[in-house]
Chain A
Amino acid sequence: MATPPAPAGARRGILRDALGIAVASGAYAISFGAISTAAGLSLLETSALSVLMFTGASQFALVGVVGSGGSVWAGAVAAALLGSRNAMYGLRLSAILNLRGWRRPLAAHLVIDETTAMAIARDDLGLAGYAFWRTGMALFIFWNAGTLIGALATQAISDPRVFGLDAAPPAAFLALLAPRLRAREPLAVALAAAVVAIVVLPFVPAGVPLLVVAILIAAYGWMRR
């Protein structure tokens, strides 16, 4: 009969995983800092995104839209739409984390893909909370340090186009999208969304193609049985 692992050992394992995730995210944040700076955002604006928004896909969306010639408000809309999934994560997390008083607004800031994955993977509620907070805090530190490194390094380059940094956002979006495409329906949704965005783009103001895609996908999700 399997015996449950000693809490100390389990916590060490969680800490090791949390650190691994944080280091990997730090590397990813370097590319965010670089892409954001290449898109024309200042060091303050780039860092503000990583400190205050602190959700990778939304941050990439905002700077990606700006980098490809869209308005920053169109980017803001894209960022908010992509942030909608964090509400779902929050729902799942509030059922397993004991969030009371000041912990709730603080925990909310750390509700992202990685912390959710780390917390819901635990059977023990105490360990789930431990995994959530440690992953969130480690990630926050490495994410912001990486952003700063990427932004400062890119500022030192006179023309980011020489290094092809303006061509990096599609690759960043692709790397974020790929893990979500493991079934036929998501793949079909992705292809349809790409086609719709390109077809409507020349005819509507910047930012509107993303709204059209969001409305169509919401309608599809709502009506599908």
Chain B
Amino acid sequence: MTLAAVLVASLACYGLKLAGVSLPQRWLQNPRVQRTVPLIPIALLAALIAMSTFATGRHLELDVRAAALLVALGAVLLRAPFLLVIAVAAATAALLRVAF
């Protein structure tokens, strides 16, 4: 089941890449498409941040993940490298669980 979803999603992602290098230029040169597509990852990543911080399934929860996100935000603002941002967030959650 999981593997099937992984394969289908991978095929979809490859299809999008292949479409980009294969389709006639004018199809994707529509100014509205050009304006809209860069906004999609911004909106989706922001939605994913909110959901993976505050949701478990369909329930909203406030737990150590919110604190971990705040620390990660601080690391991002200090221009920390990617791996360090992840590490401080994980460490925050781990320490808070030990402490409480």
The chain A residues found within 8 Å of chain B, CB to CB, are 24, 27-28, 30-31, 35, 41-42, 44-45, 48-49, 52-55, 57-58, 61-62, 64-70, 72-73, 75-91, 93-95, 97, 99, 104-105, 107-109, 111, 161-178, 180-181, 186, 189-198, 201-202, 204-206, 209-210, 213-214, 216-218, 220-222, 224
Contact = CB atoms under 8 A, between A and B. Distances in A.
Nearest to B50: A194
Nearest to A107: B21
A164 B52 contact: no
Kindly name the residue among B37, B39, B41 whose own CB sees the greatest number of chain A CB atoms within 10 A.
B41
B99 interface: no
Chain B interface residue count: which class?
A: 35 or more
Contact of B20 (A86, A165, A170, A213): A86
A94 B13 CA distance: 17
A48 B10 CA distance: 9
A183 B49 CA distance: 19
Interface of B: 1-3, 5-14, 16-23, 25, 28-29, 32, 34-60, 64-65, 68-69, 72-73, 75-76, 81-83, 85-86, 88-95, 97
B90 A168 contact: yes
Contacts of B13: 53-55, 58, 79-80, 83, 86
Contacts of A65: 48, 51-52
Task: Determine chain B's interface SS by DSSP, over half rule.
Answer: helix
Q: Give 6 closest A-B pairs by Cβ, nearest first.
A: A90-B20, A221-B36, A164-B93, A167-B93, A171-B89, A164-B94
A164 B42 CA distance: 26
Contact of B16 (A52, A77, A84): A84
A65 B85 CA distance: 19
A159 to B, nearest CB: 11
Contacts of A91: 20-21, 23, 25, 28-29
Contact of A85 (B25, B38, B65, B91): B38
A101 B83 CA distance: 38
A181 B46 CA distance: 11
A50 B83 CA distance: 17
Given A41-B2, A87-B20, A162-B94, A81 B45 contact: no
6 contacts: A164-B95, A164-B97, A167-B69, A171-B85, A210-B48, A221-B32
A222 B57 contact: no
Nearest to A93: B21
